Chains A and B, each alone.
Chain A
Amino acid sequence: MSFETAFLPLLLAMTVISFICRAGGFWLMRYVPTTPAVEAALKATPLAVMVGIVTPVAARGNPPELAALAVIVIIVRLTGSDILAAILGVATVAGLRILLGSP
C-alpha cells in the first residue's frame, strides 16, 4: 500500500475538474439575473431531470424495473412516503431479477 508521486498530477487534475463541475453552475448563476422566467426555469429543472433519469430505464422495458416503477407510483400515492416507495421499488427489482433470472 503506497502512494506513487506519479499519481499526484492526475489526482490534482481530477480534483480541479470535479470541483469545476460541481461549483461551476452555481457560480455562473451569479451573473444570470434571476428574473421570474429564469426562476420558473430553475424550478422546473429538478422534475425534468428526474424524468430524464427514469425515462431511459423505463424505455428499456425490462419487467423488474417497470414493475418497480409501478410499485413506486402506487406507494407514493397511497402513503406519500417517497423513501418507503424507493426502498420497496429496489426490493421489487432485486426480487424480480432473482425470480426471472435477468441480470
Chain B
Amino acid sequence: MTTSNATASDTVTFTFAGVRRGFVRGQALGFAAFVYGIAFGLLALEVGLSAIEAVLTSGVVYSGSAQLAAMNIMAEASPWTSANIWIITTSILIINARYFLYGATLRPWLGKTGPIQAYASLFVLADGNWVLSMSAYNEGERDAGFVFGSGFAMFLAWLTGTLAGSLVGALITNPALLGLDFLLVAFCGAFAVNMFKGRQDIAIVIVAAITAFITSKLVDGGWAIITAGLAGAAVAYVRYSWGSRKT
C-alpha cells in the first residue's frame, strides 16, 4: 500500500500539475464515460433530441442514470410541458441525491481552495472521479486540481461520446457486453480494498453492506449508495463521540 504520512502535506493547493495528474488517472473512467456517452447519444436520438440538444443535456446534467430517466419520461410524453419539466427535475434530484454526500465529503479538501476552483470541480464531479479522488486523498494527494482534472477527463469523454452517438449512431448499443457497466463497481471494489485500514473499518464495512443490501431489496436505483454512506458515517460519528467521552 502506498499510504504516505498525510500530516505533513495537509496544505491544499490547486495547480496545473494536479489537474494533469487527475486527468491522466481519470482516463480509464473517461473511456467508460465515452462509451456510455455514445449509448446516451443514441437514446437521445431515438427520443427526438437533436445532436445539439443531446450534447447540451449531457453538459448540464452529466449523469448517465439521471439522463436515462429523463429520456424515459420524454419518450412517454414528448411535448415539454411544465408538468413534465417538474417530473424530470424531480427524478434528477432523486437519482442524483448521492451527490449531496459526495460534495459534503469534499468540503475538507475543496473548501481550502478558492470558490471558483471548488465549484468548477463540483460541476464536473461524477461518481467515478469522486471515488478516484477520495482514494487519492486517502493516499496523501492534497492538490485539489486532481478533483477537477479527473472530473474533466470524464466530462470531456461524456460529451464527445454523446456527440458521436447522436451523429454516428448504432456503433455500441449495449455497453454491458464489454463489461463497462461493471467498471464503477470494479473501481469501488478495488479502492475499498486499498482504503480498508483494518480493525477500525470492520464495523463501517459491515453496517454499510447490511444497509445497502436491505435498501437494494426495498427500492431500486441509487438509494443503497446514500443509505450505506449515511450508515457508515453514523457509525464513525457515534463511535468517535463515545470514544472521546470515555477518555
Contacts and interface: CB of A to CB of B under 8 A. Distances in A.
B156 interface: no
Interface in A44-103: 44-57, 59, 64-65, 68-69, 72-73, 75-77, 80, 82-83, 85-87, 89-95, 97-98, 103
Given A10-B85, A18-B63, A68-B182, A51 B192 contact: yes
A77 B193 contact: yes
Residue among B96, B182, B241 with the most chain A CB within 10 A? B182
Interface residues of B, number: 100
A90 B102 CA distance: 24
A103 B112 CA distance: 45
A82 B212 contact: no
Contacts of B12: none
Interface string A4-30: 101101110111111111111111111
Contacts of B185: 53-54, 57, 65, 69, 89
Given A55-B212, A80-B194, A46 B105 contact: yes
Given A14-B88, A45-B229, A40 B236 contact: yes
Contacts of B194: 76, 80, 82
Interface string B155-182: 0000000000000000000001111101
Given A73-B189, A83-B190, 13 more contacts: A10-B80, A10-B85, A18-B92, A19-B60, A19-B123, A21-B92, A26-B107, A42-B233, A48-B232, A52-B224, A68-B179, A85-B193, A91-B179
Interface of B: 1-2, 25, 28, 49-53, 56-57, 60-63, 66, 70, 79-80, 82, 84-85, 88-89, 92-93, 96-108, 110-111, 118-119, 122-123, 125, 127, 131, 134-135, 138, 176-180, 182-196, 201, 204-205, 207-209, 211-213, 215-216, 224-237, 239-241, 244
